[in-house]
């Protein structure tokens, strides 16, 4: 059992280069990195100003109002970071198809400063074929990297060949608090979709009780991940259950309204003077 637990823990992490593994144990303390990642759940993310790929400032608080997926990478990595980002890209395609790209945002943050400059981040995004309107590649100031990564629960350690670092995505709620950490180098729409659906399903209805907002909420709640196809689909059983429930409550409401009108009519007939 102990070996299984250790193996599972190591599977959550990956080293950014094969060279560091060849030289012996990685510099990153996996157990401590896992503890740090879980310790920040429920905490607000820092409100730093980062630069996008065009060198324009972007304040993290400007992304509030929607769930946010955050990954940390470094552009000098030639294996793990590109592979993780491509996996995230494939997962995001599945999330876009089911929830809609307008429902959430994604950011990749380059932690190896000053080398992960806006120009380097722009080249990295292009190499991965990512040009999505809801996905930003950001460069933090050198002096804020240590605090920024710590407050996201992201751990890394320099090695002779690059960095050993935690792999995964921080999922942040619309209020700017870390909701969960999805760890591992093989991210999927299923792993990211469930916590994202939780956040979207729990969010207040936009602009009151508009019909389109209500339909959108039902659409989100009625999606499930299909492991056979690797994509999200509608759960028609749940749709029918919701429709049945709405029909029942509507029928009860109509019955109660008619019964109220009937009693008022009877009262008017029996007590005409009192109702003048």
What is the pLDDT tens value at each position of the chain, 276 positions in all? 434 344 444 334 444 433 333 344 457 888 999 999 999 999 999 999 999 999 999 999 999 999 999 999 999 998 899 999 999 999 999 888 878 889 999 999 999 999 999 999 999 999 999 999 999 999 999 999 999 999 999 999 998 888 999 999 999 999 999 999 999 877 888 889 888 888 887 544 444 445 444 444 444 455 555 554 455 555 545 545 555 656 766 777 787 777 777 777 777 666 555 444
What distance separates the 2 farthest-apart alpha carbons in the chain?
99
Short-list 136, 121, 172, 120, CA closest to 151? 172
Instruction: Give residue 243's pLDDT.
Output: 56
Q: How many residues does the chain have?
A: 276
**Taking the chain, what is the end-to-end CA distance rounded to the nearest angstrom?**
82
Angle 202-208-213 from CA coordinates, rounded to 5°: 65
Q: CATH assignment of 2-185, given 3.90.1510.10, 3.40.30.10, 3.60.15.10, 3.40.50.1110?
A: 3.40.30.10
- Taking CB atoms within 8 Å and a gap of at least 24, the contacts of 24-29 are 26/157, 26/159, 26/164, 27/157, 27/158, 27/159, 27/164, 28/155, 28/156, 28/157, 28/164, 28/165, 28/166, 29/155
In contact, 179 and 86? CB cutoff 8 Å: no
Instruction: Give residue 269's pLDDT.
Output: 63
Alpha carbons 181 and 275: distance in angstroms, whole number: 65
Three state DSSP letters for the chain? CHHHHHHHHHHHCEECCHHHHHCCCCCCCHHHHHHHHHHCCCCECCCCEEECCCCCEEEHHHHCCCCEEEEEECCCCCCHHHHHHHHHHHHHHHHHHHHCHHHCEEEEEECCCCCCCHHHHHHHHHHCCCCCCCEEEEECCHHHHHHHHHHCCCCEEEECCEEEECCEEEEECCCCEEEEEEECCCCCHHHHHHHHHHHHHHCCCCCCCCHHHHHHHHHHHCEEEECCCCEEEECHHHHHHHHHHHHHHHHHHHHHHHHHHHHHHHHHHHCCCCCC
Alpha carbons 262 and 155: distance in angstroms, whole number: 69
């Amino acid at each position: 059992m102990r070996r299984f637990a250790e193996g599972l823990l190591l599977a959550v992490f990956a080293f950014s280069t094969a060279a560091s593994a060849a030289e012996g144990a990685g510099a990153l303390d996996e157990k401590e990195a896992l503890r740090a990642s879980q310790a920040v759940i429920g905490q607000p993310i820092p409100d730093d100003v980062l630069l996008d790929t065009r060198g324009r400032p972007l304040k993290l608080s400007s992304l509030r109002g929607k769930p946010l997926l955050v990954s940390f990478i470094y552009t000098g990595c030639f294996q793990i970071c590109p592979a993780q980002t491509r996996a995230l890209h494939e997962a995001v395609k599945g999330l876009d198809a089911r929830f809609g790209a307008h429902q959430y945002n994604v950011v990749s943050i380059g932690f190896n400063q000053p080398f992960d400059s806006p120009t380097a981040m722009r080249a990295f995004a292009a190499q991965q074929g990512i040009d999505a309107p809801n996905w930003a590649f950001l460069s933090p100031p050198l002096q804020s990297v240590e605090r920024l990564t710590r407050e996201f629960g992201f751990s890394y350690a320099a090695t002779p060949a690059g960095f050993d670092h935690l792999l995964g995505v921080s999922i942040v709620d619309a209020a700017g608090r870390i909701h969960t950490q999805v760890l591992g180098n093989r991210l999927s729409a299923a792993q990211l979709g469930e916590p994202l659906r939780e956040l979207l399903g729990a969010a207040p209805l936009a602009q009151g009780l508009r019909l389109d907002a209500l339909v959108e909420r039902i659409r989100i709640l009625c999606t499930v991940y299909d492991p056979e196809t690797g994509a999200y689909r509608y759960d028609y059983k749940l749709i029918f259950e919701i429709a049945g429930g709405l029909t029942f409550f509507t029928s009860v409401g109509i019955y109660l309204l008619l019964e109220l009108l009937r009693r008022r009519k009877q009262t008017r007939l029996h007590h005409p003077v009192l109702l003048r």
